[in-house]
Structure 1
Amino acid sequence: MFRRAKTVRAVKGIDFSVQKGKTLAIVGESGSGKSTLARIIALIDAPTGGELLIDGQRVDINASRPGPDLRSKVQMVFQNPYGSLNPRQKIGDVLTEPLVINTDIPAAERRDRARAMLQKVGLMPEHYNRYPHMFSGGQRQRIAIARALMLNPSLLVLDEPVSALDLSVQAQVLNLLADLQEEMGLTYVFVSHDLSVVRYIADEVMVISEGEAVEQGSREAIFANPTHPYTRQLFAATPVTDTQAIRARVARRKAARQGAGV
């Protein structure tokens, strides 16, 4: 006996806009649809309905692939810096490949742009001829960011870009992203499940659950007064990492035990 295949809508009924030069964070638990939404915005996956505009230009969702002018406006940085770089390509080839595919810029200029971009993300021009395995995770993610910027996009979609990194390295990469945004006027769509990261980098926050936006507003409003039960549940499930909060909690417990004569 055969059963009809069940259709699952990963994303549905989401309506939002991102102000130029600002960061929209998309927050939700695993399976909520946030990465699917990110891939649609980055023009990797095509939506089955709705409307998508980038820099005021409407995306033809029925087209087999977006045009090169639109492709250059939006780029994506993936979660895993160990899997997003071709281990057989030198870093110079990784960075110049988008220019080879999408432009007719001479080879010498491509090399100059790649070396300049390495410096912009905090690496050295001599790294141009090295392979990915010669770099740490944080350095690889800097390379991935450099690659995404090679076509001078206006929008970067960042899918959990620091979740695979150590905490100290996370801070360095987040500071780099903030500096690049200010310097280049970039707009970010930042996907994350880490609310401490979101609180640091976001201007606007959109919380999604089961493919639907349940709450959206400024970072200050969402963190100060989350109104939807799902948002409050996410906040309650987030581990406390603030040192002062931990010390205060320990002091309260210690005082309670002393008062009880324990």
Structure 2
Amino acid sequence: MTPVVEGRAIVQDYHMPGSMMRRASTVRAVNGIDFAVQKGKTLAIVGESGSGKSTLARIIALIDAPSEGELLIEGKRVDIAARRPGPQLRSKVQMVFQNPYGSLNPRQKIGDVLTEPLVINTDVPAAERRERAKAMLQKVGLLPEHYNRYPHMFSGGQRQRIAIARALMLNPSLLVLDEPVSALDLSVQAQVLNLLADLQDELGLTYVFVSHDLSVVRYIADDVMVISKGVAVEQASREEIFANPTHPYTRQLFAATPVTDIEAIRARVARRRAAGLGSTVQT
């Protein structure tokens, strides 16, 4: 089966200009990484700050072009030299960023935030764009009347739901999620993770999920790739990684990271919903 996204020997170099005090140099942020993600699966990318995981995420999301290597989307090689993927390719891959407070334009109404991808990439009439946006708001647990509100009127969890809705407006096959719940309270994290799991089941989405939180990774991932200093030191299924991490860096990372029981929080949120204690509009 052809992977939804595949990387072959991906390299990303950053060139640092020289000055009177230092020589010009090159920093290798990603060094020869291979990966593949099948349809409907989630690959979690794990590593400490500065490991290169967010750099790799931006490459997969077609925001940055790699210095070397091959990136394939649904079996088709992305032209690295072009650096500007066309609308057809852009619609297949979307990204959700870490900070829900900074990723939405505060001067745009939510309706404009959601319809903008359709305006840029499609010829869909205005009335249909509006209806699609209202339907997407409902799909992520918000209300159609939120269409005319501004981002400052929403909580962090609601803003992240809006960011997810925006990413889904072009019906992508792949979502790249860079620390999408790290800025949220634990109970809100559980709600957003529940939403992502439900959307994946309903829409057959494929996720590349960047996180430093191992409890989140344990819940959301099918496979895990551990990165250190730009190198993938270990790749395996979630079960294998958590049961028997083989690389010293992976064991060190696991030992140093406090683990929150996100499953318990998720179960508590589900019980509140079943009891009718949760509101229609999610936080």
Higher helix fraction (1 or 2): 1
Question: Are 1:101 and 2:120 an aligned pair?
Answer: yes
Cα distance between partner residues in 1 of 2:114 and 2:220:
26
Q: Secondary structure at the match of 1:139?
A: helix
Q: Which one of the candidate residues 2, 8, 11 is aligned to 2:27?
A: 8
* Pick aligned residue for 1:209 from 228, 239, 243: 228
Equivalence for 1:252: none
Of Structure 1 and Structure 2, the greater strand share is in: 2
What is aligned with 1:176? 195
Report what 2:108 is aligned to.
Answer: 89
Provide the secondary structure at the position in 1 that maps to 2:152: helix
Question: Which secondary structure state, in structure 1, belongs to the residue aligned with residue 30 of structure 2?
Answer: coil
Once the two structures are superposed, residues 34-74 of structure 1 have per-residue CA deviations (whole angstroms, 9 ceiling, x without a partner) of 00000000000110110000111110001030111100000
> Distance in 1 between the 2:79 and 2:21 partners?
36
% identity of equivalent residues:
91
Structure 2 distance, partners of 1:63, 1:242, is 44
Q: Secondary structure at the match of 1:156?
A: strand
What is the DSSP-based 3-state SS (H/G/I as helix, E as strand, rest coil) of the residue aligned with 2:35? Answer: coil
Given residue 80 of structure 1, which amino acid in structure 2 is its aligned partner? N
**Distance verdict in 2 for CA 1:224–1:50, change over 3 Å:** same
User: How far apart, in 1, do the equivalents of 2:260 and 2:122 lie?
Assistant: 46
On the 8 A contact 2:111/2:130 being kept in 1, the answer is yes
AA aligned opposite 2:160: Q
Hey, what's the Cα distance between the residues in 1 that align with 2:98 and 2:258?
A: 21
Provide, for residues 177-215 of structure 1, a one-character-per-residue CA deviation record: whole Å limited to 9, x for no partner.
Answer: 000000000000000000000000000000000001000
Q: Does 1:65 align with 2:84?
A: yes
Where 2:147 maps in the other structure, the secondary structure is helix
Amino acid at match of 1:97: E
Q: How many Å apart are 1:242 and its aligned residue?
A: 4.5
Residue 52 of structure 1 aligns with an amino acid whose one-letter code is L
Structure 1 length as normaliser, TM-score? 0.91
Distance between the aligned counterparts of 1:16 and 1:241, measured in 2?
28
Aligned amino acid, residue 128 of structure 1: Y
From 181, 191, 211, the equivalent of 1:162 is 181
Structure 1 residue 38 corresponds to structure 2 residue 53: no
Cα drift, residue 238 of structure 1: 1.3
CA distance in 2, matches of 1:22, 1:150: 20
Indicate which of 156, 160, 167 corresponds to 1:137.
Answer: 156
Q: Letter of the 2:61 partner, please give it.
A: A
Q: Counterpart of 1:74? A: 93
Q: Distance in 2 between matches of 1:194 and 1:76?
A: 19
Aligned equivalents of 1:119 and 1:109: distance in 2?
A: 16
Q: Which portions of structure 1, spanning 4 or more consecutive aligned residues, are displaced by more than 2 angstroms?
A: 1-4, 240-243
Shifted more, 232-241 versus 40-49: the winner is 232-241
- Paired with 1:69 and 1:233, the residues of 2 have a C-alpha distance of 42
Which consecutive residues of structure 2, in runs of 5 or more, have no partner in the other structure? 1-19, 263-283
Aligned length: 243
Please state how far the C-alpha of 1:222 moved relative to its aligned partner: 0.1
Structure index of larger Rg: 1
RCO greater where, 1 or 2, for CA within 8 Å and sep 6 or more?
Answer: 1
Contact residue 97 and residue 177 of structure 2 kept, 8 A: yes
Residue identity in the other structure for 2:91? S
Q: Is the CA contact 2:54–2:210 (under 8 Å) kept in the aligned structure 1?
A: yes
Q: Does residue 29 in structure 1 map to residue 64 in structure 2?
A: no
Indicate how the Cα distance of structure 1 residues 67 and 241 shifts in structure 2: closer, same or farther if over 3 A, else same: closer
